[in-house]
Structure 1
């Protein structure tokens, strides 16, 4: 009887521990932690009917169900009936999308089960172990040794679960991840997008070992430029705190200060003399060391200010003009989701070659390697959540999903100096319900991080107040820090020479930014008559756009044309010129630069001389 009671109590404790693991707060700066990579080959099962999750009555299987795909696929005896199994015959690379790894998955939207076995022994018995995912698209259920660790919804932001000591084994841990990338009307993004719905474990998977009490996250920002002294403020958040103080050290500045902990938070406020500001010209990063009890973490942080003052943008107190380009998280030559430092270097390297000082990371948070690489290269960043076109703005649950993704994006990257704009969406149709929804997101971004701009790509009233005056009067403009808008004059409206008499204005006394413009061109298609879909038509488009930009109003603060490179999209079905690709890229699917690349590069070179 005693043995049975012990088993019941142990099972109850394990259930409580697993339930608590599902509530873990996001751990930031994984690069600065002790980690073990679980990347590599994972076995998989394709499960379009979700047989491994639901029984034949379409009810969710119980935890110990013999046919649940999260349990061991090894038969207990020769009479154990198993209708599923993981095998090395079926493997996928992690990180990576499944669509590009096997032709049969190109258009697949549904459920795959991933399995990985691993051994693990903690360095110290009192330490805690977390399972960290950089991103999984879209809905993820995670199981370890038959027990559910938790669920995450959202395809582009990180999440982690704590692994209870009673669950992890030194040998033969059995990790199963259910990934479902089906689009949904009540999801973020919703059913209708203009990019490929890459499914899978698309970013790094790591085990993270931490002290019993550790730093979960922190924010350090330059908040004021003062003669001789610069004010740096922020906070450090602790988990399961037993530390009375935290220490901040910046060796290069000979700075080391202690700050008291109040509850689980320490407020940071100090001045730093002789600080070199981060900027695209001088992307200075300082080694910062944070210590709380037995936990010590390092990061490389740049310090700069960004503000919208009247109708101008100021970086470190000086006027800023953004020579930008929009980027999708894809490697066109391989038609796949980007995920690595090498991928980030390729994409941002192209942007640098274009004479850019800014990138719009569309239309979702990109891999952390992109924002860290942008810090190092001196590239300003617009980072965005996938509130794209028409989500269900009247649904409170949809709003909460958007807020969750916004929070996870900001928490992960709040110490990246390169990021100057948090964007809460793109081309959302005007209505009071939508404006309230978006206003809530903008306010959430400002509450989480008041040190940066908050914006969105707004709607345009073409020829609203006169024959050739295009007005940005979207009601959401009242709440953004910078009025950004997408325009395709000469592609979706008229021909490129329409730009010759077009003028732009906004009713708001704020900086004005063109967040998209572009025309499609099949790489290598040359037409002396400027035929549509040719590189020559696209070049004509950019020539007329550039001439128009040169007479923009004084509050014009930059542009991020659409887009750096061609990318996959199921919406693009012209059998001759698209074939499942959006071809608005300045670089084609083979990595070859189109004529427009060099036109924009020349214009940006001129603007760099005007606004160094």
Structure 2
């Protein structure tokens, strides 16, 4: 009997392992392949709104009692009783509901700390928008492991909580009563990106919008348009088509520049170069041009800026001139109500606060923010640091972990490569030094350059050698990035605030450095002496003394203190002060500035560019 039980257990484990590997393979079978660009310019059907849900902490809707995946009887089948004797122990239509886009943690009190599986179901009719159309099911983001079912059949999966993915559903849609079911699992995993230990809330759910994208059978899939590296008067471009025929032509039009160029498609792609003298995008003048691309019956429009970015010694050079980045770090946390940002209006609120602070630069931490955030920031003239969540102690010796990180990198760059505002791709934050980590991140750096060599690469480091009064930047990762980010919490995690103004920094690399994090915590409205933790006065003292430190760093090219607004974090347990919030924000979650906000604002006013 024991042998039989052991044999059964082994078979179950082998089956589970095989299935897991198969699902991972499905989610990455189109890794690093183009996906549709610029959904704002496409014919769309929104699938946002109320979705039916089932909370499934034991994953009964996915596994049977032998822990084997259900083939036909899972929740994805959306079965209904056909006779009074039927036994079906779930019913989407009589269960709870949640809004999409949105996180489940702040929509239902019982799901506040929940990490696990929630099944989502949306019923919709299919209305054809174009003649002979191709239809993509497009998710802007689902956190974290998503398995997608259409009318009872699995059609795709995706791993990663902050980047978009699409599934071709052409020919799979019914005219009426399609049921789309999504299994969403936000459990933290040691091998995942990010890993189990983070300092932000693990918001679960379909956190960004869902669409059906309608395009002609022959359509523009992907494109890249920007200035040739190192040039101000040559526009380079690449267009990728779907179902194109060799010899067919596409047209690129930029009316304001007098450009109307025809290019020939071969093997579904084409490269082109156009002479032009565009007005360059700059934070003070965020000029965007109307661009139109036509291929067969498919026409898309975009607003694209042109600028150059480079380094020269310890300087960051924008459009041929040195610029100092006056920045702030931002989490994708909704103002006033908290939870995951879900609307363009919430993005604009955060950006207006950054503008009031005097910023020309934002660090979008610690993962790719929504496409709306990036586009609105570009319109408002913010330079942008965008990063993937390779955060703290990921498994640097695990090939599957690396593949996950690279895929998220690809998806981030693919979505946002036409946004002139983005000047920095970040590949990591606060990762511990070691050979495996260096191999992992150097590969990511190389991959970033392959995907996009027109921007700068950075990473935020928190390991510096030296003494009490001197810090030395010599992390070997500095060899693989263009700009070094440094996270330093003098006055908060080390030393008193007054110890910071005499701290000196040395850099072993002739490269620019951004102080990517500094700061301290304060509960808005709590006042006291400057040496009293959690008061606005203590946070203000941290900023006053750190600003004096910054003025003594001759290779400093920018600052992005931590952080614009207080945000939820399960690491923060002080009930009277933190209440599950990281309190390092310069503004409270209710939108009220703290004293340090005005200290940093004054510092930025005194910077010339």
TM-score normalized by structure 1? 0.93
Determine the structure 2 residue equivalent to 1:442.
445
Alpha-carbon distance between aligned partners in 1 of 2:438 and 2:415, rounded to the nearest angstrom? 26
Determine the structure 2 residue equivalent to 1:317.
320
**Alpha-carbon offset, residue 259 of structure 1:** 1.7
CA pair 351-529 structure 1, distance change in 2 beyond 3 A: closer
Alpha-carbon distance between aligned partners in 1 of 2:522 and 2:571, rounded to the nearest angstrom? 16
Tell whether the 8 Å contact from 1:231 to 1:270 is kept in structure 2 after alignment: yes
Determine the structure 1 residue equivalent to 2:175.
170
Equivalent position to 2:159, from 153, 158, 162: 153
Map 1:302-341 → 2, pairs under 5 A: 302-341=305-344
Equivalent position to 2:197, from 186, 192, 196: 192
CA pair 88-315 structure 1, distance change in 2 beyond 3 A: farther
Alpha-carbon distance between aligned partners in 2 of 1:332 and 1:35, rounded to the nearest angstrom? 28
Determine the structure 2 residue equivalent to 1:26.
35
Determine the structure 2 residue equivalent to 1:577.
577
CA pair 389-204 structure 1, distance change in 2 beyond 3 A: same
Determine the structure 2 residue equivalent to 1:57.
66
Determine the structure 1 residue equivalent to 2:186.
181
SS in 2 for 1:558: strand
Tell whether the 8 Å contact from 2:469 to 2:504 is kept in structure 1 after alignment: yes
Determine the structure 2 residue equivalent to 1:499.
500
Determine the structure 1 residue equivalent to 2:19.
none
Tell whether the 8 Å contact from 2:42 to 2:215 is kept in structure 1 after alignment: yes
SS in 1 for 2:438: helix
Alpha-carbon distance between aligned partners in 1 of 2:321 and 2:328, rounded to the nearest angstrom? 22
Structure 2 unaligned segments of length 5 or more: list them: 1-25
Determine the structure 1 residue equivalent to 2:48.
39
Determine the structure 2 residue equivalent to 1:11.
none
Deviations 1:362-414 (A, max 9, x none): 00000111100011100010000000000000011100000000000000000
Alpha-carbon distance between aligned partners in 1 of 2:514 and 2:581, rounded to the nearest angstrom? 27
Determine the structure 2 residue equivalent to 1:267.
271
Is 1:518 the equivalent of 2:527? no
Is 1:246 the equivalent of 2:250? yes
Determine the structure 1 residue equivalent to 2:134.
128
Deviations 1:135-194 (A, max 9, x none): 0000000111111110000000000101131x2111111110110000000100000000
Map 1:83-98 → 2, pairs under 5 A: 83-87=89-93, 90-98=96-104
Map 1:145-544 → 2, pairs under 5 A: 145-165=151-171, 167-223=172-228, 230-242=233-245, 244-273=248-277, 275-462=278-465, 464=466, 468-544=469-545
Is 1:603 the equivalent of 2:609? no
Alpha-carbon distance between aligned partners in 2 of 1:197 and 1:567, rounded to the nearest angstrom? 12
**Alpha-carbon offset, residue 263 of structure 1:** 1.2
Alpha-carbon distance between aligned partners in 2 of 1:575 and 1:114, rounded to the nearest angstrom? 33
CA pair 493-403 structure 1, distance change in 2 beyond 3 A: same
Deviations 1:35-92 (A, max 9, x none): 0100000000000011111111110011x32xx1011232122222210011255110
Alpha-carbon distance between aligned partners in 2 of 1:212 and 1:580, rounded to the nearest angstrom? 49
Deviations 1:21-47 (A, max 9, x none): 974842110101000100000000000
Deviations 1:442-487 (A, max 9, x none): 111111011100110023324x1x5522011110000100011100
**Alpha-carbon offset, residue 576 of structure 1:** 2.3
SS in 1 for 2:261: strand
SS in 1 for 2:442: helix
Tell whether the 8 Å contact from 1:458 to 1:486 is kept in structure 2 after alignment: yes
Residues paired across the two proteins, number: 581
Tell whether the 8 Å contact from 2:131 to 2:216 is kept in structure 1 after alignment: no
Tell whether the 8 Å contact from 2:363 to 2:384 is kept in structure 1 after alignment: yes
Deviations 1:501-560 (A, max 9, x none): 20112100001110100100011100035311110000000000111111211x210100
Alpha-carbon distance between aligned partners in 2 of 1:541 and 1:88, rounded to the nearest angstrom? 53
SS in 1 for 2:92: coil
Tell whether the 8 Å contact from 1:136 to 1:203 is kept in structure 2 after alignment: yes
Determine the structure 1 residue equivalent to 2:594.
594
CA pair 556-342 structure 1, distance change in 2 beyond 3 A: same
Determine the structure 2 residue equivalent to 1:137.
143
Alpha-carbon distance between aligned partners in 2 of 1:57 and 1:248, rounded to the nearest angstrom? 57
Tell whether the 8 Å contact from 1:189 to 1:387 is kept in structure 2 after alignment: yes
Tell whether the 8 Å contact from 1:245 to 1:266 is kept in structure 2 after alignment: no
Tell whether the 8 Å contact from 1:326 to 1:361 is kept in structure 2 after alignment: yes
**Alpha-carbon offset, residue 225 of structure 1:** 6.3
Alpha-carbon distance between aligned partners in 2 of 1:124 and 1:196, rounded to the nearest angstrom? 41
Alpha-carbon distance between aligned partners in 1 of 2:307 and 2:398, rounded to the nearest angstrom? 38
Determine the structure 2 residue equivalent to 1:4.
none
Tell whether the 8 Å contact from 1:224 to 1:232 is kept in structure 2 after alignment: no
CA pair 402-22 structure 1, distance change in 2 beyond 3 A: closer
Alpha-carbon distance between aligned partners in 1 of 2:588 and 2:296, rounded to the nearest angstrom? 52
Alpha-carbon distance between aligned partners in 1 of 2:28 and 2:383, rounded to the nearest angstrom? 36
Alpha-carbon distance between aligned partners in 1 of 2:397 and 2:27, rounded to the nearest angstrom? 31
**Alpha-carbon offset, residue 217 of structure 1:** 1.0
CA pair 202-368 structure 1, distance change in 2 beyond 3 A: same
SS in 2 for 1:337: coil
Backbone CA RMSD of aligned residues: 1.5
CA pair 154-224 structure 1, distance change in 2 beyond 3 A: closer
List, as ranges, runs of 4+ consecutive aligned residues in structure 1 with deviation greater than 3 Å. 19-25
Structure 1 unaligned segments of length 5 or more: list them: 1-18
Alpha-carbon distance between aligned partners in 2 of 1:51 and 1:467, rounded to the nearest angstrom? 55
